[in-house]
Structure 1
Amino acid sequence: MAAHPVTACQWVLLAVCSIASLYALLAAVAMPFFGSRSGAASRAAYFPAHVSPTHVSQPQHRFARVGVSVLKPLCGAEPRLYDNLRTFCDQHHEHFQLVLGVSSPDDPAIAVVRRLQAAYPLHDIELAIDTRVHGSNLKVSNLINMAARARHDVIVIADSDIAVEADYLDSVAAPLADPRVGVVTCLYVARGIGGFWPRVGALFINEWFAPSVRVAHAAGSRRFGFGATLALRRATLERIGGFEALKNCLADDYWLAEHVRALGLQTVLSRVMVATDVIEPTFAALWQRETRWLRTIRSVNAPGFAFLFITFPTPWLVAGAWLSAGLAATSSDAVHTWAAFTSASGAAAGLAARLLMHLRSARRERTFWRDLPLVPLRDALLALQWCAAVFGSHVTWRGARVPVQTSTSKAARNGALNVMDVMEASDGG
């Protein structure tokens, strides 16, 4: 068989496939097990305590008991809204307030809040109905309207679709006892609610977004902020100019934490993992939400967004296997043999890492086998959405069109992020 030299394109493809396989391995190792077969163990895996009262100093313990105002902007009656809000009422924390805000007197979430107030008459639960609009980001407008009702020195902002364990407020407030800490934030585990496409959407979070953050965190990055939880002192919020500083930002969760970091304060990624719901019932709805996330990432750091392609494992595993077969068939000389072996080994290692990642995100054995056929679909869909997110100047959030350029210009003023940081900038609201 005549020898043909390995082409430059083949060497580049071999390198990219190897990097993608290495990334898949790092992501699989970095993420925790999300569940277990026993109910108690499963809850512990979902919500491992960041700090428990027996492991904190006395000053930290006292700080974990100071008053906390929880701000939850609402929009519409989501399928599990009442159940999720109840978890914020069933807290061990001694002194906390819930401020639940809507921007319309006709919002269906109002009836859910009234039901919650009736079920917990001794709790400090306040409903804020305010139609004023302060900027292009309607969620931030809602927060601006709610902020005046917050009465305590610690502020916790949490999205409407978040569920937590009873020690949540104690855990996220404790790190703020350290004056060097500015923001505490939490990652989240997704639960698909209502059928096939929510299951696919849950994999987006559990097997791409969360592992990406874990890898970045392990690499030393602290440039993140998630709507699942943002806890900070009231004084810190006032120093950055309040929520008004974010009223025209697309990735408001990220930029709130970035403003705090600009003060020289640290961001802490809590070990607490809250639960979030994925409810998009159709392919179109899921595509819109996930493309919005990716376009938001692009708005924060376009160069970093360009390198996200290495984080979609399945297409590169297929490419690596194809490359190995092609090299083996072309020639039997030492260079081709080595390249073919390297490509095949990388694809095999990447496949094992991808299966491990899926195993670690599965809550039980049945979930692992049920969702296993969705893994290649999930990765291929991510690649297509990444391509689609290259284009477009707006995103749709809660029915409102928000311009992408707002955050892009701000990113330019605040400097570039590295490729690992950019995977953390997506708005989870």
Structure 2
Amino acid sequence: MATAIEVITALLTLGGLVYLLLALWGARAFAHFWRGRVSSEFAPDVTILKPVKGVDPRMYAGFVSHCRQVYAGRFEILFGVSSLDDPAVGEIERLKVEFPAVAIRLVVCTERLGTSGKVSNLVQMLAAGTFEHVLINDSDIAVTPRYLATVMGCFEEETVGLVTAPYLGKTAERGRGLTVWAKLEALGISTDFLPGVLTARTLEGGLRFGLGSTLAMTRTALEKAGGMEALVEYLADDYEMGARIAAAGYRVELCPEVVETSVPGYDLRGYCVHQIRWARSTRDSRKLGYLGLGVTYAVPWALATMVASGFALWSFTLLSLVLLARVAVALSVGVGLLRDGQVLRDLWLLPLRDLTGLMFWAWSFAGDTVVWRGEVFRLQDGRLEKV
């Protein structure tokens, strides 16, 4: 039995090592694809949809970054709220005063069309938009002045139906918001999540899904994919939107423009709630791929191999190789591609990040409930059911 366990953990470790090498290859392929490309001058008029609920500490700064775009085409920003009593309304009115030259509109979404309040609002906001090209991102996303130019330039190729963007999670710089759990969340985004996306892009010959940080599309592609209304019951609406547009025959492009999302100052409970929702959402979206996700956590498997082998010398060699590959992925993707300096600050937390990642992967199979914005739902094949 002891030998069998040793063999199993060693094989899982080797599988994880192969994955890390694939992630490095995926990062190299992505960087090579965009290196030396001339920025496109294609700048179609675009409607930006931002569903909001409540006020986050960095939300207004993110709003401002969208208003300061260096963009040749026209753009409008539509903010969607479920009620005029939402505290975000005051911030939107403040934004209108600060940027009178930007076309900013508030859309009050009074109908609840499905269990996903966010997608329900998006359906109503989309109907109020003006232009053929549409861009959706979350309320806390902050962008560079070249964001629209880079994202929308990808549509110069007519085969592109959806453009998405990599992102990093920004923690508080100091104070109570800079918890170890917030650091683990940000570290996971830059050194775990995006390497997985790049690996999928390489193995599948392109992306077949979208990322919620940026979902830019044409109305034509969205309609051919079934429309926004078809997503009102889904938690992972970003994944579904990309998957459906790809299935409709369009290309999903991952552009090189990096955006920032805000990471709250999680306590342990908040971190666990968010991670398990993320894990179960991914489990329901990519069932076969998610089964293999457990193998990718090479560091915990290498540690388990050391214990199972009685701390044999060869197991230390294997652990050293795994740690070298894991750090290489973190630096090449987190620092090299995302320019996320927080990765260097928190590099020592990588083993803990991988241990918790493996734990949440296993825990995700133990149930179907998720907590989203204070509401409890049951997931059934990616669809939300109110508990």
Structure 1 length-normalised TM: 0.80
Q: How does 1:19-418 map to 2 (within 5 A)?
A: 19-28=15-24, 30-31=26-27, 55=38, 61=41, 64-94=42-72, 95-193=74-172, 194-196=177-179, 197-219=181-203, 220-326=205-311, 328=312, 341=314, 343-360=315-332, 361-362=334-335, 367=342, 370-407=345-382
Structure possessing the higher radius of gyration over alpha carbons? 1
3-state SS of 1:82 partner? helix
Structure 2: gaps (5+ residues)? none
CA RMSD of aligned residues (A): 2.7
Letter in 2 for 1:163: A
Q: Could you tell me how far apart the structure 1 residues matched to 2:272 and 2:346 are? A: 19
Q: Could you tell me how far apart the structure 1 residues matched to 2:26 and 2:303 are? A: 24
Structure 1: gaps (5+ residues)? 33-44, 329-339, 410-429
After superposition, the C-alpha distances for 1:60-117 in whole angstroms (9 at most, x for unaligned) are 52xx322100001111101100001111111111310001111122211111111111
Q: Could you tell me how far apart the structure 2 residues matched to 1:394 and 1:77 are? A: 26
3-state SS of 2:43 partner? coil
2:2, 2:308 within 8 Å by CA — same for their partners in 1? no
1:144, 1:244 within 8 Å by CA — same for their partners in 2? yes
Which of these residues, 3, 8, 12, is aligned with residue 7 of structure 1? 3
2:10, 2:301 within 8 Å by CA — same for their partners in 1? no
Q: Could you tell me how far apart the structure 1 residues matched to 2:44 and 2:327 are? A: 44
Aligned match of 1:424: none
Compute the displacement of 1:303 (Å): 3.5
Aligned match of 2:14: 18
More displaced stretch, 91-100 vs 190-199: 190-199
Q: Once the two structures are aligned, what percentage of the paired residues are identical?
A: 33
Letter in 2 for 1:24: L
More displaced stretch, 367-376 vs 288-297: 367-376
RCO higher in structure (CA 8 A, sep ≥6): 1
Compute the displacement of 1:368 (Å): 5.3
Distance of aligned partners of 1:264 and 1:29 in 2 relative to their CA distance in 1, 3 Å threshold: closer
Distance of aligned partners of 1:377 and 1:319 in 2 relative to their CA distance in 1, 3 Å threshold: same
Q: Could you tell me how far apart the structure 1 residues matched to 2:346 and 2:16 are? A: 22
3-state SS of 1:162 partner? coil
Letter in 2 for 1:161: D
More displaced stretch, 309-318 vs 165-174: 309-318
More displaced stretch, 65-74 vs 357-366: 357-366
1:14, 1:323 within 8 Å by CA — same for their partners in 2? no
1:135, 1:247 within 8 Å by CA — same for their partners in 2? yes
Compute the displacement of 1:23 (Å): 1.9
Letter in 2 for 1:171: T
1:49, 1:271 within 8 Å by CA — same for their partners in 2? no
- Equivalent pairs counted in the alignment come to 372
Compute the displacement of 1:366 (Å): 8.0
